[in-house]
Amino acid sequence: MSTNAKVRVATVWLSGCSGCHMSFLDQDERLVDLAKKITLVYSPLVDVKEFPENVDVTLIEGAVANEEQLAMLKKVRGRTKILVSLGDCAVTGNVTALRNSWRHSDQAVLERAYKDPADLNAAVPTAVPKLLIKARPLHEIVKVDFYIPGCPPHADLINYVLTELLAGRAPVMEGRSKYG
């Protein structure tokens, strides 16, 4: 990685609770050091609408649960050098994937969310993107380069992985990562 140009980093939020992003922010004062080395080119934390080209590292939180996210993931993969699954939802499906055990859950959860609680005119809004039959972890759809498990992953672990990647090293997860 070039020494003068800052590393272009993005974070993406798919089907997750945003806890992983909170954990990212929990890096606290280390974020200041990080900011010297990276530019956050896309993130729920910054106001950029379109995912940019030529991103060096993208951290993705959340599983892929609907068609919009599926398209997003593919776009991100196409524009990113190093893709990192951030947190259990991205790595395993986690809570988002709890519905996978039931057949036709793609329909059932929508009905539970929109139809069952409604008193009048119960209907699933058409603006909601179509759910996939199963919520999936990222690597079942695109190639993922590194994984940071955890629900949420500890800020130290996120910091470790970023530090290693910025130094051009592959992080070693043995004995470091922790599911749940």
Partner 1 sequence: MSTNTVKLKIDGVDVTAAEGTTILKAAKDVGIIIPTLCSLEGLTAYGGCRLCLVEVSGTPKLFPACTTPIGPGMDVTTQSDKLKEYRKIAVQLLLAERTHICSVCVADDHCELQAMANQLGVDHVMFERNWSREEIDSTHDFLVIDRNRCILCTRCIRVCDQIEGVHTLDLKLRGKDSQVIMDLDEKWGNSCSCTSCRKCAKVCPVGAIYVEGEPIEHTKKRDVAEFIVERRNRK
Partner 2 sequence: MAQELEFQNAYKYRINVCCSSGCVPFGALKVLKAFEDAVKEFGVEKECKVARTGCIGTCSVGPAVLVEPGDYLYQSVTPERVREIVRDHIVLGLPVKDMLYERNAYFKKQHRLVLRNAGKIDPSRIQDYINMGGYGGLLKCLTDTPQAVINELIASGLRGRGGAGFPTGQKWSLVARAQNSPKYIVANLDEGDPGVFANRTLAEADPHAIIEGMLIAAYAIGAEKGYIYIRSEYPLAIQTLQKAIAQAKAMTLLGESILETPFKFDLELRFGAGAFVAGEETAILASVEGKRAMPRPRPPYPANSGLWQKPTLIQNVETLANIPLIIQNGGAWFAKTGTPKCTGTKCFSLTGKVNNPGLIEVPMGITLREVVFDVGGGVPDGKKFKAVLVGGPSGGCLPDTLLDIPIDYDSLVKVGAIMGSGGIVVLDEDSCMVDTARFFTEFCVDESCGKCTPCRAGLARLKDVFGKITNGAGEMSDITTLEKSSSFIRDGSLCGLGQTAPNPVITTLRYFKDEYIQHIVEKRCDAGKCFKSRGEEEIE
Read off the amino acid at residue 115.
Answer: K
> Residue 133 binds which entry of partner 1, partner 2, none, with Cβ cut-offs from 5 to 8 Å by kind?
partner 2
Instruction: Show the binding pattern over residues 142-161: x = contacts partner 2 (CB under 8 A), - = does not.
Output: -x------------------
Residues 105-164 that bind partner 1 (CB under 8 A): 134, 137, 139-140, 144, 146-149, 151
# residues contacting partner 2 (CB under 8 A) = 4
DSSP track, 51-82: PPSSEEEEEEESBEEEHHHHHHHHHHHHHEEE
Tell me the closest approach of the beta carbon of residue 92 to partner 1, in angstroms: 7
Residue-level length of the chain = 180
From 25, 35, 98, 133, residue interacting with partner 1 (rule: CB under 8 A): 98
Q: State the amino acid at position 31 in one-letter form.
A: L
- CA 124 vs CA 48, 109, 135, 159: distances in Å: 30, 10, 19, 41
Q: Which helix (H) or strand (E) holds 23?
A: helix 19-25
Binding site residues, partner 1, CB under 8 A: 85, 88, 91-95, 97-98, 100-102, 134, 137, 139-140, 144, 146-149, 151, 172-180
Binding site residues, partner 2, CB under 8 A: 103, 133-134, 143
